[in-house]
Structure 1
Amino acid sequence: MPAFSRRTLVVALSAVVLAACSKTDSNAPVAAASAPAAPALPAKIVVGLDDNFPPMGFRDEKGQLVGFDIDLAKEAAKRLGVEVEFKPIDWNAKEAELSGKRVDALWNGLTITDERKKNIAFSAPYMENHQIIVVKGGSPIKTKADLAGKLIGVQDGSSAVDAIGKDEATAKSFKDMKKYGDNVTALMDLSTGRVDAVVLDEVVGRYYTSKKPGEYVVLDDNFGTEEYGVGLRLEDKDLLARVDKAMADMKADGSAAKISEQWFGKNIVK
């Protein structure tokens, strides 16, 4: 082969080698993009509650807010690494308080209903409850049928109103239904004879009536079973997921059971 041909061949081969070295391997792994960081939680979460709803949330003899739901919320907030503030609200306006961002959560024996799900994002249920019927000791009322022609007390805006409404036949038999700002006032009117019976959450009714043995009687009949959940704004999906995880962890490690035993004498957490 002539000398100039050999030089030409060497130059050509060098060019091929250089091109091969500089070419990016299409099969080489590409560095994975780092996962986006989870949205930061607010420094403080404001919990709206009815402060006259024992034992879920109420004021003790010193005026301090205490209760089962308050202790649960405090423990969950600690696990989330946020401060929690408890804000008493008009429970009948709870959805407006939440959507108006005057509170960030509703955590106070809030019943999960299909109607409320239209405006509220609920956590996984953490407790079962019944809408019980309480009458005065010695009352002739023994069953739901005996409520016919009677004046019934309920808390305005509570799930008791909805539960009664589902039993149309019984509801139509009432003389009337009187609505109160809170259950405690309704029970006080029951004791003085201003109403004949009160329909309310079992956890509240049994706690309150146990403090005054003989004054009240809880009927065997009730207006159905329901579940409690934490209520958040529909758009707060990340906060909801974190609250659900905190609650699941509290159930798994026994913290929720311990709080329940302090308030109810047994674990009634779902």
Structure 2
Amino acid sequence: MRSILASTLALALSFMAGSANAADLPDLGGRTIVAVTENAYTPLNFVDPKTGEGMGWEYDAFNEIAKRLNAKVDWKLSSWDAMIQSVREGQFDVGMDGITINDERKEQVDFSIPYMISEQFMLVRADETRFTDAKSFGENPDLLVGAQPGTTNFYTAVYNVLDGNEQNPRIKLFETFGATVQALKAGDVDTVLMDQTSANGYIGASPGSFKTVGGPLGSESFGFIFKKGSDLVEPVNAAIKSMQDDGTIEALNKKWFFDYASAN
């Protein structure tokens, strides 16, 4: 409880600082921004089991961005496999789901500046002893990895852990990121790749169920996505920068990656 109170105080202080800086940011005049996420990527976005409402790091961050820009947020949901295309077509103003910034996606959508940089690790069951890193996992043909198709985690599994064959039968595909973790917990697959921050969230949310093994398999930068040419990119970038400067991003990291994990 003490850590949660400390985090709440830190957030309050940083939000106050953010309000003081709001006059220096673009004013969107009360505009409503239609934002989309998946609610399946703990602790960035997921469903509160008590209320059924969406919550997480990205919710808090973008709600604060909108507040600083004098805008409102209308939250919507989309599956991961449809999200980039729907934002590209203008169905939503902004999308977020721990989306890695890369050149291929930049051809389809505009990105904000990175709001988070994370390294990928192998999440495994807590009692796992058959392998200790990507090399020993790859050498055992009986071991399976769970992944969502088209994600950075999928491609890292293919090219950094296995043999570069995207049709490798050792990769089991799932519609949602959460389903891959449930499959891992049930013993249907043997590892799931994810960024360290999300791994910490799952480890904290289910004590005694998971751990990470091996070293980082590469780093990735997360950004919000927009339709090409969106007039929201520059204002959102300015708000992100202000939140980095005044400590709000750091406070959100503490709240969701440390205090939330400890409390759950």
The separation in 1 between residues aligned to 2:164 and 2:126, in whole angstroms, is: 23
Q: Do 1:144 and 1:170's aligned partners in 2 also have CA atoms closer than 8 Å?
A: no
Residue 246 (structure 1) aligns with: 239
Is 2:185 aligned against 1:191?
yes
Residue 228 (structure 1) aligns with: 222
- Tell me the CA shift for residue 172 of structure 1: 4.8
Q: Do 2:27 and 2:70's aligned partners in 1 also have CA atoms closer than 8 Å?
A: no
The separation in 2 between residues aligned to 1:137 and 1:259, in whole angstroms, is: 27
The separation in 1 between residues aligned to 2:234 and 2:187, in whole angstroms, is: 47
Q: Do 2:134 and 2:161's aligned partners in 1 also have CA atoms closer than 8 Å?
A: no
Q: State which structure, 1 or 2, has the greater radius of gyration over its C-alpha atoms.
A: 1
In structure 2, the CA distance between the partners of 1:215 and 1:43, relative to structure 1 (3 Å rule), is same
In structure 2, the CA distance between the partners of 1:44 and 1:255, relative to structure 1 (3 Å rule), is same
Q: 1:79 aligns with which of 55, 68, 93?
A: 68
Q: Do 2:94 and 2:224's aligned partners in 1 also have CA atoms closer than 8 Å?
A: yes
| SS class of match (1:265) | helix
Q: Deviations over 1:77-131 (max 9, x none)?
A: 0111111111110111112110222211112311101111111111111211122
Residue 68 (structure 1) aligns with: 57
The separation in 2 between residues aligned to 1:119 and 1:105, in whole angstroms, is: 13
Residue 146 (structure 1) aligns with: 136
Unpaired runs of at least 5, structure 1: 1-37
Runs of 4+ in structure 1 over 6 Å off: 38-42
| SS class of match (1:51) | coil
**Sequence identity percentage:** 25
Amino acid in structure 1 at the alignment position of 2:60: D
Q: Deviations over 1:203-225 (max 9, x none)?
A: 22220122223322201234311
In structure 2, the CA distance between the partners of 1:40 and 1:55, relative to structure 1 (3 Å rule), is closer
The separation in 2 between residues aligned to 1:222 and 1:252, in whole angstroms, is: 27
Q: Do 1:98 and 1:233's aligned partners in 2 also have CA atoms closer than 8 Å?
A: yes
The separation in 2 between residues aligned to 1:218 and 1:211, in whole angstroms, is: 14
Q: TM-score, normalised by structure 1?
A: 0.77
- Tell me the CA shift for residue 53 of structure 1: 1.1
Larger RCO (CA under 8 A, 6+ residues apart): 2
Residue 120 (structure 1) aligns with: 109
The separation in 2 between residues aligned to 1:73 and 1:234, in whole angstroms, is: 19
Aligned residues, how many?
228
- Tell me the CA shift for residue 170 of structure 1: 4.2
- Tell me the CA shift for residue 263 of structure 1: 1.3
